[in-house]
Amino acid sequence: MFYLYIIKSKVKKYYYIGSTEDLRRRMVEHNQGKTKSIKHLTPFELIYYEAYAIKRLARKRELELKNNSF
């Protein structure tokens, strides 16, 4: 499965939209500060996700949300 996800920083009002094949691993990476652009905003909580059988569809949805985001 492939996932589109939205996480929220617990320290600031900041949302991050992404896609991944392994949602649990990706959450661990975010909370360990392994995403350079947002590591200063850790910790994060998962607030929303969608599952897709095809990677292209998850990525398409990610781009849709980023273009119409918060």
CATH number, residue 53: 3.40.1440.10
Q: What is the mean pLDDT of residues 11-33?
A: 96
What is the average pLDDT score of the chain? 95
Cβ atoms of 5 and 19 within 8 Å: the answer is: yes
pLDDT of residue 69 exceeding 80: no
Model confidence pLDDT, tens digit, residues 38-50:
999 999 999 999 9
pLDDT at 68: 86
pLDDT of residue 70 exceeding 80: no
Can you tell me which residue has the tokens 């652009």? 37
Model pTM greater than 0.85?
Answer: yes
Total number of domains constituting the chain = 1
- The rounded percent of the chain whose pLDDT value lies above 70 is 97
DSSP states along 23-59: HHHHHHHHHTT-SGGGGGG--EEEEEEEEESSHHHHH
Residue 50 structural domain = 2-67
